[in-house]
């Protein structure tokens, strides 16, 4: 049962978005994340569009102002100085005019911009701003397929767990063993000063995260070299599905804006990606699995990364199996969708992406399920999300067994997703 009045939840969500707004970009939360994060910002813009349309476009434009010349859009833009976050600009050493990290994040921009454009009240403004963003998003998509799919398999690899957005997922455990920790420069973690260490990745994982950053920095962040030089290359179905959905959405947007070439190129990327995704399907798990590109083997880990593909136009029988998988998980967890299958002994209810429920993934999964007519499961996900807010406030993520708030508090993208859910309930 939702105890809070929906109009109060709406106002509260707007308050969270406004208090984290830095003018042209929004920080995910105070303390833990003091800069602009890539996919946080694109999803935040959707929330902002419900009360300030202009501001929503600015959020994404600011991110793309820091796109690299090769097309990559970095996962963090360090707009201001803060020593409250590690690893900061000196560790990344990317040499950009405004400091950025050197890796990327799930490309939700194509999806988000299409949504902003379609719901725009000021049509002229939206057309102008969508037209300006279109080639930039296209360049990012092109970058993915040339630098992260160098052998033209149709699917891209992530080279660092942070790129997936699901930093410490069980998915990476095995491949991560190949990442050494020798030579890691001494460091002090900041995240564990802002959030409960039991909710965060381990020290051993941090050593490996930093080894990869130092390794890529040693290659001068040359994207022509990073893929083959990385001991960690994983094809994440969730990440690819987001890219595929963004390509398809960008293609539709380009078509409406009369950009036929961009439309055709993005359509072709989405189609090739969807065809290649079939090889990641696991009938046993009723979901997709990651693939370790170094060994060529599928990774036996039933995480939310394999449920997220329903966000793209995957075959209908796969989408239906995913709906059943979510239903099965709902019998084990009070709140859905857990980021790892509770039936797996590696599930950890409070540790970041090893079990907790997140509203951003809930949003994308519910959207995909609704598209294939699985409205009952989609509604259940929305209901569960709003119950979490009502019970535990706007946390970064939640223990799916108890609903306890975990990680950071007064979290921007959680608030943004709530505005989206409330809007969905009205429509």
Judged by the rule CB under 6 A, the positions of this chain that interact with ligand DGY are 75, 162, 167, 191
The residue among 318, 311, 245, 313 whose CA lies nearest residue 279 is: 318
Write down the least CB distance from residue 198 to ligand DGY, Å: 15
Cβ(177)–Cβ(231) below 8 Å: no
Write down the least CB distance from residue 345 to ligand DGY, Å: 25
Instruction: Output 75 or 147, the one with its CB closest to ligand DGY.
Output: 75
Instruction: Output 71 or 74, the one with its CB closest to ligand DGY.
Output: 74
Tell me the C-alpha distance between 314 and 277, whole Å. Answer: 8
Instruction: Output 39 or 57, the one with its CB closest to ligand DGY.
Output: 39
Active-site residue, selected from the candidate residues 53, 149, 163, 167: 167
Task: DSSP letter for 308, please.
Answer: G
Instruction: Output 210 or 377, the one with its CB closest to ligand DGY.
Output: 210
Write down the least CB distance from residue 329 to ligand DGY, Å: 24
For 126-184, the DSSP string reads: HHHHHHHHHHHHHHHHHHHHHHS-TT--SS--BSSHHHHS-TT-GGGHHHHTTS--TTP
Does the annotation mark 396 as catalytic?
A: yes
Residues 6+ apart with CB under 8 A from 45: 56, 57, 59, 60, 112, 116, 416
For 280-297, the DSSP string reads: GEETTTTEE--EETTT-P
Q: For ligand DGY, which residue has the nearest CB?
A: 162
Write down the least CB distance from residue 67 to ligand DGY, Å: 18
Instruction: Output 80 or 425, the one with its CB closest to ligand DGY.
Output: 80
Write down the least CB distance from residue 112 to ligand DGY, Å: 19
Cβ(243)–Cβ(144) below 8 Å: yes
Does the annotation mark 163 as catalytic?
A: no
Active-site residue, selected from the candidate residues 191, 396, 399, 420: 396
Active site residues: 167, 396
């Amino acid at each position: 049962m939702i105890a809070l009045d929906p109009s109060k939840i709406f106002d509260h969500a707007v308050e969270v978005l406004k208090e984290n707004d830095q003018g042209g970009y929004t920080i995910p939360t105070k303390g833990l994340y003091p800069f602009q994060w890539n996919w946080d910002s694109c999803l935040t813009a959707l929330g902002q569009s419900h009360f300030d349309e202009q501001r929503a476009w600015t959020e994404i434009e600011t991110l793309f102002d820091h796109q690299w010349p090769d097309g990559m859009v970095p996962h963090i833009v360090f707009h201001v100085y803060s020593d409250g976050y590690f690893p900061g600009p000196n560790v990344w050493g990317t040499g950009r005019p405004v400091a950025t990290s050197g890796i990327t994040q799930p490309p939700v921009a194509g999806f988000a911009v299409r949504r902003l454009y379609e719901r725009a009240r000021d049509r002229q403004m939206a057309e102008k701003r969508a037209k300006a963003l279109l080639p930039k998003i296209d360049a990012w998509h092109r970058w993915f397929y040339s630098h992260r799919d160098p052998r033209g398999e149709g699917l891209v690899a992530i080279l660092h767990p942070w790129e997936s957005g699901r930093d410490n997922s069980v998915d990476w455990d095995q491949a991560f063993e190949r990442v050494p920790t020798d030579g890691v420069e001494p460091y002090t973690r900041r995240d564990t000063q802002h959030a409960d260490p039991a909710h965060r990745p381990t020290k051993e994982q941090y050593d490996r995260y930093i080894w990869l950053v130092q390794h890529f920095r040693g290659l001068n962040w040359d994207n022509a070299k990073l893929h083959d030089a990385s001991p960690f290359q994983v094809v994440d179905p969730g990440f690819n599905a987001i890219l595929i959905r963004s390509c398809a959405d960008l293609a539709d947007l380009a078509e409406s804006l009369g950009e036929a070439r961009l439309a055709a190129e993005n359509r072709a990327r989405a189609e090739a990606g969807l065809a290649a995704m079939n090889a990641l399907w696991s009938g046993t798990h009723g979901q997709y699995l990651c693939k370790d590109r170094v060994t060529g083997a599928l990774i036996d880990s039933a995480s939310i990364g394999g449920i997220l593909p329903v966000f793209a136009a995957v075959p209908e029988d796969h989408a239906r199996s995913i709906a059943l998988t979510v239903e099965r998980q709902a019998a084990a967890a009070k709140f859905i969708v857990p980021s790892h299958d509770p039936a797996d002994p590696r599930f950890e209810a409070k540790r970041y992406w090893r079990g907790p429920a997140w509203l951003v993934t809930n949003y994308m999964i519910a959207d995909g399920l609704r598209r294939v007519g699985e409205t009952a499961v989609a509604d259940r996900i929305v209901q569960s999300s709003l119950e979490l807010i009502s019970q535990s406030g706007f946390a970064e993520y939640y223990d799916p067994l108890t609903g306890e708030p975990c990680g950071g508090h007064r979290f921007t993208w959680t608030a943004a997703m709530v505005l989206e859910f409330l809007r969905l309930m009205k429509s």
